[in-house]
Amino acid sequence: MNIGEFKNVGGRLLGSIATRTIDLPRLGLRQVESTNERAPVFEILALNVGNRWVQIGALWEAVAKNTTGEAFLQGTIDDPSLSEPLPIALFGSDEEGFRVAWRRPQPRDAFAPLNRGAPRREDEGAGAGGFGDSTAGEGGALGTGAELDDEIPF
């Protein structure tokens, strides 16, 4: 759902966001200059009641996971006056302007299968921080070692 827009006005990206309960009529995007690859691309600024610009969020570059591979900006707006952060995504460009989209986060399904992925390191095993090799034989049968009926000396 589109909830706002930013346009290039005199070399500045200015815009607004409005929903049924949120009205942010004067927003700006300030470019972040950083060599840190984790730094945001823009800070989101709002004009407060004292007529001062204050930071209320940030935007990072992202790429759509669908087949289009479209680049966009994503981040959140947060302020003590909001009941919770507002996740947003901006589609467009600095020259043409941006459309601001919002999507309600989907709750996690507690009964969905877990995908824990492969082990992070191939060398995990005995002595390398893992649990070691399995003692189970083929088909899950008890592997080598003492049988249940064998007497184990202490």
Residue 125 pLDDT greater than 80, yes or no: no
User: Residues 6-59: pLDDT tens digits?
Assistant: 999 999 999 999 999 999 999 999 999 999 999 999 999 999 999 999 999 999
Task: In whole angstroms, give the CA distance from residue 12 to residue 153.
Answer: 81
Domain boundaries, the chain: 2-101
Residue 119 pLDDT grade (very low, low, confident, very high; cuts 50, 70, 90): low
Reported as a pLDDT band with limits 50, 70 and 90, residue 134 is: low
pTM summary value:
0.67
Q: What is the per-residue pLDDT for 135? A: 64
77: closest CA among 131, 27, 135, 146? 27
Q: What are the two backbone dihedrals, phi and then psi, of residue 14, each rounded to the nearest 5 degrees?
A: -120, 150
Per residue, the 3-state secondary structure of the chain, as one string, reads CEEEEEEEECCEEEEEEECCCCEEEEEEEEECCCCCCCCCCEEEEEECCCCCEEEEEEEEEEECCCCCCCEEEEEEECCCCCCCCEEEEEEEECCCEEEEECCCCCCCCCCCCCCCCCCCCCCCCCCCCCCCCCCECHHHCECCCCCCCCCCCC
- pLDDT recorded at residue 106: 75
